[in-house]
Amino acid sequence: MSDDSESAFPAATIEALLAPAVGRLAPNTSLSPLPYDLNAGVPDRATLPAAGLLAAMQRALDADAAGALTYGGQQGYEPLRAWIAARESQEGGLDVTSAQVTLTSGSAHGIDNIAATFVGEGDIVVVGAPTYPGAIRTFRARGATIIESPQDDDGLIPSALARVLDTRRMTGQQAKLLYIQPNYDNPSGATLPVERREAIVALCRQHGVLIVEDDAYTGIDLDGPPPPSMFAIAGGRGVMRVGTFSKTVATGLRVAWITSQPEIVQKLVFMRFDNGASPLLHRMVLEYLRSGEYEPHVEGLRDLYRERRDASADALREFCEPYVTFKTPRGGFFHWLKLRPGLDARTVQAAAAEQGVAVTPGTGYFATPDSAELNGADRIRLVFSALPPEELREAISRFGRALEQVASSTR
């Protein structure tokens, strides 16, 4: 058999066999090897509750080892869904049941589950400009046409969204989904005011557009609780709210959920192809949530990240002020810096790398980075979550030097 084995199926043959979607997608983001990483939106490593999770796993296995170690179904462990539904009910003032929650392997997987269920070739998905690039590639992989709607410092602008939706309707290609992160948007950091939430829910209802409310950073509330969720404002109809324990417990868990109206949840569960997520993780997480350790843990995270946000904002004003402006975010992990006219984001990124600092140019956060206007060439995303205040200060002073260098060479 193996005479021709080494030459069989060369790379060009594999390329030719790929699904058409492969060629449409940008690569996934990766971690930086630079000494000061202000690029990856990851939680602080020292805060991970390893002991609490290990004890929770022990309790889960003691209680029902066979249940924890056998297929748990596509929708996921019901008591954990009930916990999430109860919290949702309490926060949003709706009566949400466990049948309205489905568990996913991280919120990114939740977005993929939504895309599998609602997006066919050529379907329109509206996203903010900027927005989370992982969502763009997930929707595109299912054949979506991505249409951008601009953000300002307060997030998505309802009047602009209205124009986008009207235009789509006039062309006979109605949008199907609106993808939005109303709290602590990645990358803009914006928190959508309640009036905008109401206006956007009303607009989407009028146009028959389903809202994908990505709440990946909710919980990392640095200035008190955010406004009511769009799910709550919409009375639980026409919204898929995606939540996760990644930021409040650990990104390594891959335990997240989608809350929606029952008809939608049934379809999301139907469009699963993984025989469900790990019931061991679901039970471990629930035991941890019930331990009494979770609430003080999240409080501690808020204190920690608030300190880092404030230290980084101070350092940005001290070291970078002539070159950048920004609005301090109410939560999450990011500053979204606007560069002074004449400074280009990729040039700044390269100069910062020379100083040992990884930052992210804004260009990666736009669905159409080659457009003349909304292209992110005047923006930098700077992560404040992963480093302690002293290191942040050092990193940002180096970043300031990089800005100065670029400014002086382009002057």
Q: Do residues 133 and 364 lie in contact, with contact meaning Cβ atoms separated by under 8 Å?
A: yes
Q: Is 63 in the site for a second copy (CB under 8 A)?
A: no
Q: Do residues 247 and 331 lie in contact, with contact meaning Cβ atoms separated by under 8 Å?
A: no
Supply φ then ψ for residue 212, to 5 degrees: -100, 105
Which residues, 6 or more positions from 10, have their beta carbon under 8 angstroms from its beta carbon?
none
Q: Is 264 in the site for a second copy (CB under 8 A)?
A: yes
Q: Could you tell me the sign of the dihedral formed by the alpha carbons of 193, 199, 201, 207, in that order?
A: negative
Which residues, 6 or more positions from 181, have their beta carbon under 8 angstroms from its beta carbon?
128, 131, 132, 213, 214, 215, 216, 217
HSE-up of residue 236 (Cα within 13 Å, Cβ side): 19
Q: Which stretch binds a second copy (CB under 8 A): 102-110, 334-342, 365-373, 387-395?
A: 102-110
HSE-up of residue 6 (Cα within 13 Å, Cβ side): 1
Q: Is 187 in the site for a second copy (CB under 8 A)?
A: no
| Residue 55 exposed, middle or buried by CB count within 10 Å (0-12, 13-18, 19+) | middle
CB of 104 to a second copy, least distance (A): 8
CB of 262 to a second copy, least distance (A): 9
Q: Is 136 in the site for a second copy (CB under 8 A)?
A: no
User: Whose CA is closest to 398, among 332, 309, 318?
Assistant: 318
Site track 19-38 with a second copy (rule: CB under 8 A), x = hit: xxxx--x-xx-x--------
Nearer to a second copy, 117 or 355 (CB): 117
Q: Is 50 in the site for a second copy (CB under 8 A)?
A: yes
Residues 275-334 contacting a second copy, CB under 8 A = 275-281
Report the residue from 87, 97, 99, 267 that binds a second copy according to the rule CB under 8 A: 267
Nearer to a second copy, 25 or 350 (CB): 25
CB of 237 to a second copy, least distance (A): 4
| Residue 164 exposed, middle or buried by CB count within 10 Å (0-12, 13-18, 19+) | buried
Nearer to a second copy, 45 or 411 (CB): 45
Q: Is 5 in the site for a second copy (CB under 8 A)?
A: yes
Report the residue from 37, 39, 43, 319 that binds a second copy according to the rule CB under 8 A: 43
Residues 202-261 contacting a second copy, CB under 8 A = 202, 205, 208, 210, 233-238, 250-254, 261
